[in-house]
Structure formats: C-alpha cells, structure tokens
Amino acid sequence: MNRYDNRRAIVTGAGSGIGQATALRLLDEGAHVVGVDVSQAGLDDTCEKATAHGDRLSVQVVDVADEASVVDGVAQAVAALGGLDVLVNAAGILRSGHSHDVSLDAFERVIRVNLTGTFLMIRESVPALLAGSAPAVVNFSSTSASFAHPYMAAYAASKGGIQSMTHTLAAEYAKQGIRFTAVQPGSISSGMTAGVGESKQSMGPGLPEDADMSLFMKLGPALQQGFAGPEAVASVVAMLASEDGAFITGTEVRIDGGTHF
C-alpha cells in the first residue's frame, strides 16, 4: 500500500524544481494532488511529467503573494479534492545583491512571496486540515536561515521567519492534531539555484558581478556526489507528511549533503 493512498494534498511552487518534484513524488505514492503555481507554463510541464497519474492531479494558477488569489485558490483546491490532509509550501523566490543596493521594494517582495505567502496558504488551509486525516504541513525554510549566505539578506530573513513560524504553529495546533515541520534545503540543483524557472516566481538577477566568491568556499556539499537534485528534498517532504513522520512536529530537517556540519 502506498503511503498516500486516499490522501489529499496541495503543493505550491509545483511548476518546477522542488515543488514539482514533490508533487510528482506524492502522486507516485498514491496521493490526489492540486499543484499551484504562478506560472501556467510550469504547471503544464508538471502535467506532462505526470501523465501516468493525470487522473489524480489538477493544477491552478495561484500567486501566493496575493491574498485574494490564495483565498480563491485554496477554496477551489479543497473543493476539487473534497477535503485536505497535506499542505506543502514550496513556492518561493530568491533575490541576490549587495544589501546596501537592495531596494525596499525588492526586499519586501521576497518577504511577501516567501514568508507572507506561506502564512496565507496556511491560514486558508487550516480549517480544511482540521477536518482532514492525520493533517500535516511542510514548510520550506533554507540553510540560509541558520548559516550565513552572503548577498541574500532578504531571502535569509524570509526563511528564518518561516522556520520560527513553523515552531509556533506546531505548538498552537498540536492538540488539534496538525503537525507542522520544515525542510532546510541546501546544495540542491533547482530552477531557483540556477536562476531559471518562473514557477519559483523567478529567481531574478544572480549574484553581483563583483561578488567575493571566497565567501562561499565553505558552502559546498561534503558528500562526493556534489549537488543533489530536487528529488532528494521531495523524498524527505514525503516522509514528513506521511504516517512515517507521525511523531515529528515543530522542527526542521536540513538536507544539504553535509554543507553545514
């Protein structure tokens, strides 16, 4: 029996990278999934890759940074699924630059998509999760939340906020049966790290041209295999939201190949 037989899940950022890999992994394990993303093209790509499970996948264009879009999108997703058991908040953006050059608009955009977007998805999903079966939420923090990644102050702040919020929500809803966990990906190859993929709301410009690369000398995986693919994170997300993770809540799991010992 698959771990996700008869389980109903919403996955954000499902149009590329780790979000897409997670949606496909849950489908492989029997879940009914609504994949949401800001990019229709990304969602179309996910549908093409999920042809074997197309009867259990539906997709919606949702901008997690827009409250009205989230309210409408979650309501439609829950209706399509007939309820909700799992929420995976993988959508996010990365902006890099010298902090003294970053505009307020750019800083607030990262916070709006990553942190506020995660909050909005949770707020709108909790009522359905409370009525679900063994409900679980998996949020996306980052190794940037705990370790210095230069030129990424807004991103680090947003991911640190997600991590703290995950702990708070886990305590708040523990007696009501909802588990909240987070993953901390690092050294993962994805559309975000490559600077491509509109489904991650687009990474935007990469590091500054004059970036001091010596600051990144310690940020490589210790394992000989080098950077891992998004499937490495998707497998952990699938565990955390399943019955195998039933005794795990209010914590985060770092997935970085030993980049940060």
AA identity, residue 102 = V
Query: Which residues lie across from 179 on neighbouring strands?
Result: 136
Q: How many CA atoms lie within 13 A of 206 on its CB side?
A: 10
155 assigned to active site: yes
Query: Which residues lie across from 180 on neighbouring strands?
Result: 137
The catalytic residue among 4, 151, 155, 173 is: 155
- What's the sign of the alpha-carbon dihedral 24, 28, 29, 30? positive
Do residues 188 and 227 make contact, with C-beta atoms less than 8 angstroms apart?
A: yes
Longest dimension (CA), the chain: 54
Phi-psi region of 237 (alpha: psi -120 to 50; beta: other; left: phi over 0): alpha
Report, in angstroms and rounded to the nearest whole number, the Rg of the chain calculated over CA atoms: 17
Please give the positions annotated as active site: 155
